[in-house]
């Protein structure tokens, strides 16, 4: 606990701001149902009611409470993005480390497969697949995770290429250690800092990507609350000078900025660069 407190005291204001934002979003996502007086899809008023006592942030195009939808949107959007990012790292990270450790034809085969997938723009590829397979949450998670795992594969392979040629890895091979042992005990611990930083950046990308798909109608489907679809459903209010559609957009932007601040600080800490006093 003392080490954590010492680390936080040495953190720059931007990192503290990012950590505060992330903590606030996590708390809202976990305790969302306790913070809202209405249900996620409950119609509680007429369409586009103004901000006031009854509805702090007004109502949406169907008469649902905007504040309630925003809070539930945190749970849905962030939760799905986090699960998707974890799955992408599981697929891409394992295959990238495996390709480097095995080398030869396995490395070439996986590398060419990833090149083919990355040659197609990810948004177009996702729209094509989701149009064919449907847009249920499990399908959405799987499709985005597979497409995003190609980026993780490239990074994991690139980082581990500089580690696998070092003496301690060669010594482990000479001792007769298995491939999985070498990956988990020798390569992965030394490749963790850039992979952890990439996890934060990939989370932001997946988070924004899911919101974009929802805005286009192929992401998280109604009546589930999602910030991307909330922007689309209430976009007509912009014409009348109402900033309500900007609230979910602002929630997306704030989390993205907060995560990037923390990732930047983490990279600075793990790089070994010292600040000049």
Confidence check: pLDDT of 54 > 80: no
Structure tokens, 267: 């990279």
Alpha carbons 124 and 31: distance in angstroms, whole number: 36
At residue 254, the pLDDT reads: 92
**Domain encompassing residue 135:** 74-270
At residue 85, the pLDDT reads: 92
C-beta of residue 191 within 8 angstroms of C-beta of residue 163: yes
Confidence check: pLDDT of 56 > 80: yes
Answer whether residue 12 is part of any domain: no
Answer whether residue 16 is part of any domain: no
Could you tell me what percent of the chain has a pLDDT over 90? 12
Alpha carbons 224 and 39: distance in angstroms, whole number: 11
Number of domains in the chain: 1
C-beta of residue 214 within 8 angstroms of C-beta of residue 232: yes
DSSP state letter for 62 = T
Average pLDDT over residues 186-203: 86
Q: Is the dihedral of CA 125, 70, 42, 239 positive or negative?
A: negative
Alpha carbons 154 and 133: distance in angstroms, whole number: 27
Average pLDDT over residues 196-224: 86
Answer whether residue 1 is part of any domain: no
Measure Cα distances from 152 to 38, 93, 216, 249 in Å.
40, 6, 26, 27
Please tell me the number of Cα atoms within 13 Å of 81 on its side-chain side. Answer: 30
At residue 277, the pLDDT reads: 42
Q: Specify the CATH number for the domain of residue 197.
A: 1.10.3720.10
Answer whether residue 51 is part of any domain: no
Answer whether residue 55 is part of any domain: no
Answer whether residue 13 is part of any domain: no
Answer whether residue 105 is part of any domain: yes
- Phi then psi for 64, rounded to 5 degrees? -90, 150
| Local confidence band at 245 (pLDDT 50, 70, 90 cut-offs) | confident
**What is the per-residue pLDDT across 99-146, written as a single tens digit (0 to 9) for each?**
888 888 888 898 888 888 888 888 888 888 888 887 788 888 999 999
Confidence check: pLDDT of 271 > 70: no
Answer whether residue 25 is part of any domain: no
């Amino acid at each position: 606990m003392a080490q954590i407190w010492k680390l936080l005291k040495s953190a720059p204001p931007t990192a503290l701001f990012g950590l505060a934002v992330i903590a606030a979003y996590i708390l809202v996502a976990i305790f969302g149902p306790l913070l809202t007086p209405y249900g996620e899809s409950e119609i509680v008023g007429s369409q586009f009611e103004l901000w006031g006592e009854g509805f702090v942030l007004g109502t949406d195009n169907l008469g649902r409470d905007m504040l309630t939808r925003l809070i539930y949107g945190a749970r849905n959007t962030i939760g799905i993005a986090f699960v998707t990012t974890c799955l992408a790292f599981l697929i891409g990270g394992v295959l990238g480390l495996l390709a480097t450790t095995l080398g030869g034809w396995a490395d070439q085969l996986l590398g060419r497969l990833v090149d083919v997938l990355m040659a197609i723009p990810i948004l177009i590829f996702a729209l094509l697949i989701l149009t064919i397979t449907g847009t249920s949450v499990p399908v959405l998670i799987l499709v985005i995770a597979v497409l995003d795992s190609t980026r993780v594969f490239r990074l994991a392979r690139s980082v581990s290429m500089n580690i696998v040629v070092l003496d301690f890895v060669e010594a482990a091979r000479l001792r007769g250690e298995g491939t999985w042992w070498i990956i988990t005990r020798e390569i992965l611990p030394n490749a963790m800092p850039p992979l952890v930083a990439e996890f934060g950046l990939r989370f932001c990308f997946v988070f924004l990507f899911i919101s974009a798909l929802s805005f286009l109608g192929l992401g998280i489907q109604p009546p589930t609350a999602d910030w991307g679809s909330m922007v689309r459903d209430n976009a007509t209010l912009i014409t009348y000078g109402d900033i309500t559609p900007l609230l979910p957009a602002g929630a997306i932007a704030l989390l993205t900025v907060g995560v990037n601040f923390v990732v930047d600080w983490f990279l600075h800490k793990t790089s070994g660069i010292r600040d000049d006093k």
